[in-house]
Amino acid sequence: MAVHIVTDSISCLPEGYAEEHGIKVVPIRVSVNGVSYREGLDISSDTFYEKQRAGARVSTTQASPEDFRAVYEELLSVPGDQILSIHVSSAMSGTVNSAYTAAEQTDPTRVRIYDSRMAALGLGFMVMRAAALASRGASLEDLVAALDAMLPRIHIYFLVGSLKYLIEGGRIGKAAGVAASVLQIRPILMVKDGIVDVFERPRTMRTARDRLVALIDQGVVRGLERIAFQYTGNRSETETLRREFSARTGIPSLLTPIGPSVGCHTGPDTMGVILLDA
């Protein structure tokens, strides 16, 4: 009896990781000027951000119950096998609801839906841990307990070039956006309790970047199990931050793009760091 791991493309797993570890990824759909694409399959991140920066109209659509049901039915074809389906925060997307509907339509006794309350590689780290434990024979209940234990140890911080994308997409409170516009602050944002919130309000991007470095170094002092640097259309700037981190600490790290389903709401100049405390 095996436990299969399913997630959605908002997990931003490193290229090839899902295939190598037997993880099924259900793609989120993104729309560019009215044309729909499956994230990770029909459009590259680079192409998406080029179009977004040029002013294209972009939006996202959650995966449908039918998308999930097809995956669940395939994986449940072996009697006794189970599924742990781990997804983006339900406060950010209706993806979890689609997964629940699909589970009810297949076999809810064999499919467990897990709301990560995370996004990007915050979610991805949880998926990677679950896949590793499942490959060693962990039970479904043990996997859920392991993910629950991870939640308070994951910290997501990010900077955006403009708050307009988050405001337009309803992913952050409008009051915070208005304050940023009036005061010309460059906030450090975080994911807290499953939603995007303001962590601090520096007045310049340079100060915000310096503060982000300080938050990373605090994580090093606490002890890190994993760290990842993520970017939308600004890889070079994020690579520089990662090189500086490596030079200071010698600690291995991941560098991965943020997919269009997230970048649609954060914009083409987003730089983030995901810390998993040891």
Write out pLDDT tens, residues 197-226: 989 989 899 999 999 999 999 999 999 999
Cα distance between residue 202 and residue 258, in whole Å: 23
Kindly provide the b/e burial profile for residues 192-215, where b requires at least 16 CB atoms within 10 angstroms of the residue's own CB: eebebebbbebeeeeebbebbeeb
Q: 277 exposed, middle or buried (CB, 10 Å; 0-12, 13-18, 19+)?
A: middle
Q: Match 């914009």 to its residue by tokens.
A: 267
pLDDT score recorded for residue 221: 97
Q: In whole numbers, what is the pLDDT of the chain averaged over residues?
A: 93
Write out pLDDT tens, residues 148-204: 999 999 999 999 988 888 877 766 665 565 555 545 678 899 999 999 998 998 989
Q: If we measure between CA atoms, which residue out of 263, 264, 265, 258 comes closest to residue 166?
A: 265
Which pTM does this prediction carry? Answer: 0.94
Cα distance between residue 72 and residue 241, in whole Å: 40
Q: Rg (Cα) of the chain, in Å, rounded?
A: 18
Q: What is the DSSP string of 40-80?
A: TTTB-HHHHHHHHHTT--EEEEPPPHHHHHHHHHHHTTSTT
Q: Which domains does the chain have, with CATH numbers?
A: 3-151 (3.40.50.10170), 153-277 (3.30.1180.10)
Measured CA distances, 80 to 2, 25, 61, 109 (Å): 8, 21, 33, 10
Given a contact cutoff of 8 angstroms between Cβ atoms, the answer to whether 27 and 9 are in contact is yes
The 3-state secondary structure of 240-254 reads: HHHHHHHHHHCCCCE
Cα distance between residue 194 and residue 91, in whole Å: 6
Write out pLDDT tens, residues 110-136: 999 999 999 999 999 999 999 999 999
- Round to the nearest angstrom and report the end-to-end CA distance of the chain: 30
